A and B are shown apart, each in its own frame.
Chain A
Amino acid sequence: MSEGILVSQPVPASGETRRLNPVVRLLGRTLTVRRGQIGLALLALAVVAAVAGPHLAPFGVDDFVGAPFQPPDGSSLFGTDNLGRDVFSRALAGGGGLLWMSAGATLIAMVFGTAIGLIAGQSRGRLDGLLMRAMDVILAFPERVLVLLCVAIAGAGGLLLMVSVGLVFMPAIARASRAVTLDVAHKEFVQYAEAIGMPRRQILMREILPNILTPLMVEAGFRLTWAMGLIAGINFLGFGVQPPTADWGMMINENRDGLLFQPWAVGLPIICIGFVIFGANLLADAVARAAARIEG
């Protein structure tokens, strides 16, 4: 863009006159990508099923509607489970927990991870070393083992599972956040803020955070996918939500004895988990592509 001497050029017209909050802008862009649309549709379907499912279900989750492991027939669409409960009704109700737990775990990981990464990356001193070595200790354990360790110590339960998955994912986010912070923190506009004595909190929140949100959203998208897989797996093992709650992961475990003569009792929750993770993954991928397009 040139600024002539003879002609004083007006401020160039920009494509986007009003720029939105970076997160909103990123999500907007995401939805222009085909895989983002599909991913969001799948997730939306799962959310609708989780919210409205119990009301639409032909039976209650704990109702005994027939003999154990009955194959599909006229009254129950996908047959019955190991205790004679309706598989379809339980599958409709069984996704809500997984969805909110993985969303919650991602949120916990994002909030704490971003904060730690920001502080570490901007201070760059002893605090940086201390925080990041603490993160390294967490990273040294395999994710699944560490989550199992947490629930083994604190006891099984949905809320605990969510918090421990969040904490286990936190170091990876902290690393990503620190890396992008390092990049932004030496930019001149941050130096300017330091020179005029802007308080550190304000430098972090006002100057740096808006500039690192886009890459962090990409990280968040993938963390959501992994959280789903991890949480479903722990529920399968029986360390998460407890019976008689309906949950996809736990349903697979409960019904695996009948796999040969009533495959739907295992198959339906597997298909559900597959679809939700597929949807989340598509969405995460779309976020990454949109981010790459925005950042150039």
Chain B
Amino acid sequence: MKVVDVRHLRVELIDTGTAIVDDVSFAVNEGEILGIVGESGSGKTTAALCLMGYTRAGARIAGGEILVDGRDVTTLEGAALQAFRGKVVAYVPQDPSAALNPRMRIGEQVAEALRAHEPKLSRGEISRRITEAFADVSLPADRGFLRRFPFELSGGQKQRVCIATVFLLRPRVVVLDEPTTGLDVVTQSTVLETTARLCRTHRVAALYVSHDLAVVSNLADKTMVMKNGRIVEEGAPRQLFHAPRHDYTRALVAATPHIDGPLARVAGDIQANEPKPVLSIRDVAASHGDFQVLHSISFDVMPGECLALVGESGSGKTTLSRLLIGLHRSATGTISFQGENLAFDARQRSEAQKRRMQYIFQSPYGALNNRHTIADIIATPLRLFENGPSAELHAKVKRAMDAVSLPAKAADRYPSDLSGGERQRVAIARALVLKPDMLICDEITSALDVSVQASIVSLLQEVQRTENLAMVFVTHNLALVRSIAHRTAVLQYGRLVELGETGQVIDRPGNDYTRKLVEHSPRFVEAA
């Protein structure tokens, strides 16, 4: 039975009348999951949220019909719309930390949602319903757990609380907006499995919005791909991902890193006859206060080599990368860089050491000062280390911008004028302008869309080849590792559990933890 039927939906900006979603039609049956795939700005979230009669400020639903259970959502207003949201169409947000009230205990929050829609429920009934819903998502519903605050839960637990809250009200339709983006692979796969099971058993129609094709291919019964507010292709995931008809879908599929894909020929050659490692870490341990984050880590990085550091959140991989660049000071052990000892504190490192090792941050949004122009930002390290004439400085900035394919006219812009991918290119240009020997990249693609991610990775590969850079590439995405790293190191709870050639680590993991990571990495569904 058709629960959702959307016809010729159009959403436009009130000011300019520009369409952000145009002529979008889709239908979802009971117990069915529709995946909506697209990049940021494709209108996928906007289209999905219309089911709740919601548009963000400054936009409005300008045309089309949205029928949910036979009712036209666009005609609902006030109290009727309020009762409709949550009870008929419910929403699971992208970031569970932002969705839960940090000052309210879990139990109260969940009960609040239930009471808002069913005020006559008795206390006993409420707790029975909560216990049921929590059991559905494999969370304990004992008093101790319900009395916890959101900050006492892990990211995966928080997201499961959100999902439990949503299914508690037994809605007809659930809209899930990239609910696993912030989670690591193992947690992600349990959350996805839970969602799919609940939709089937409760006969709920679901819309799953995501930029991750592999995730959608596993979960959805049918999929539509959106671009610039329009549907470019729709169909069964199997057909869509194995025989895409539209060029855009084809490009998206190609851009998605593939854990089972052929081992990409990794750029750059490790000089086999070069016996000396560029970076050598011996017995390094680090702590945050009393908590020990890293235990006795030792490895080498050869000139021109890319070493991937892989692990779940909390494995200590970011601490390790910050330690390398001198931002984490409470550590023991030795690091040597190009044969010289490297201090843990950046302030105690020599100028040459600071020049030759550069760092790229995870988020391109926080890494650039919004008050400086792009040219200024890229010139910052040059001004600090080389006091050359300004013509020379400009030439170097220009060359660095060319190397990362930033248009010359971006020089006078500010970071807020650029997209995430462009900002990350600026960060890379800033790191490369000094011609370093070693680059440390901390999850630099995780905040970016799949296609942008692909372009950033290929940029890095190219740079690595031309500049013969040694690189430490920190990521939680095993599939990505395949296309960039010569060797892969796997971290678990601050210990190095496996280190070897990338192909070997992924295809023949020698460790249970690595095997678990590989198994839970999202894959495209098998071709029929």
Query: Is A12's CB under 8 angstroms from B417's CB?
Result: yes
Question: Closest CB-CB distance, B483 to chain A, in whole Å?
Answer: 15
Residues of chain A from 1 to 47 with CB closer than 8 A to chain B in the complex: 1-6, 9-12, 14, 17-19, 22
Partner of A191, one of B255, B327, B430: B327
Query: Is B346's CB under 8 angstroms from A197's CB?
Result: yes
Residues of chain B from 446 to 494 with CB closer than 8 A to chain A in the complex: 449, 451-452, 454-455
Please give the number of chain A residues whose Cβ is less than 8 angstroms from any Cβ of chain B in the complex: 30
Residues of chain B from 226 to 241 with CB closer than 8 A to chain A in the complex: 227
For A5, the closest partner residue in chain B by CB is B451
Please give the number of chain B residues whose Cβ is less than 8 angstroms from any Cβ of chain A in the complex: 53
Query: Is A195's CB under 8 angstroms from B327's CB?
Result: yes
B39, CB-defined interface residue at 8 Å: yes
Residues of chain B from 245 to 280 with CB closer than 8 A to chain A in the complex: 247-248, 251-252, 255
For A191, the closest partner residue in chain B by CB is B327
B368, CB-defined interface residue at 8 Å: yes
Q: How many A-B residue pairs have CB under 8 A?
A: 102
B419, CB-defined interface residue at 8 Å: yes
* Given the contacts A5-B251, A6-B248, A192 and B367 also touching, CB distance less than 8 Å: yes
* Given the contacts A11-B413, A198-B384, A1 and B371 also touching, CB distance less than 8 Å: no
B255 CB contacts on chain A under 8 angstroms:
5
Query: Is A195's CB under 8 angstroms from B414's CB?
Result: no
Segment at the interface with A among B285-293, B333-341, B404-412: B404-412
Query: Is A11's CB under 8 angstroms from B410's CB?
Result: yes
A193, CB-defined interface residue at 8 Å: yes
CA of A18 to CA of B414, assembled, Å: 9
Query: Is A195's CB under 8 angstroms from B326's CB?
Result: yes
B504, CB-defined interface residue at 8 Å: no
Residues of chain A from 67 to 83 with CB closer than 8 A to chain B in the complex: none
Query: Is B349's CB under 8 angstroms from A11's CB?
Result: no
For B381, the closest partner residue in chain A by CB is A196
Query: Is A3's CB under 8 angstroms from B419's CB?
Result: yes
Query: Is A192's CB under 8 angstroms from B361's CB?
Result: yes
B380 CB contacts on chain A under 8 angstroms:
193, 196, 198
Query: Is A12's CB under 8 angstroms from B419's CB?
Result: yes
Partner of B407, one of A5, A11, A187, A195: A11
Residues of chain A from 172 to 225 with CB closer than 8 A to chain B in the complex: 187-189, 191-198, 206-207, 210-211
Question: Closest CB-CB distance, B415 to chain A, in whole Å?
Answer: 9
CA of A5 to CA of B253, assembled, Å: 11
CA of A6 to CA of B419, assembled, Å: 16
Query: Is A196's CB under 8 angstroms from B422's CB?
Result: no
Query: Is A195's CB under 8 angstroms from B419's CB?
Result: no
Partner of B346, one of A1, A19, A194, A211: A194
A210 CB contacts on chain B under 8 angstroms:
369, 371-372
Determine which residue in A10, A11, A18, A206 has the highest number of CB atoms from chain B within 10 A of its CB, and name it: A11
Residues of chain B from 345 to 381 with CB closer than 8 A to chain A in the complex: 346-347, 349, 351, 354-355, 358-359, 361-363, 366-372, 380-381
A-B residue pairs in contact (CB < 8 Å), sample of 11: A2-B39, A2-B41, A3-B421, A4-B39, A5-B255, A5-B454, A194-B346, A195-B326, A196-B358, A207-B369, A210-B372
Known A-B contacts: A2-B40, A3-B455, A207-B369. Give 17 more (CB < 8 A): A2-B39, A3-B449, A3-B451, A9-B419, A14-B413, A17-B412, A189-B368, A189-B369, A194-B346, A195-B325, A195-B346, A195-B354, A196-B346, A196-B380, A197-B346, A198-B380, A210-B371
Q: Which 3 A-B pairs have the closest CB atoms?
A: A2-B41, A210-B371, A1-B419
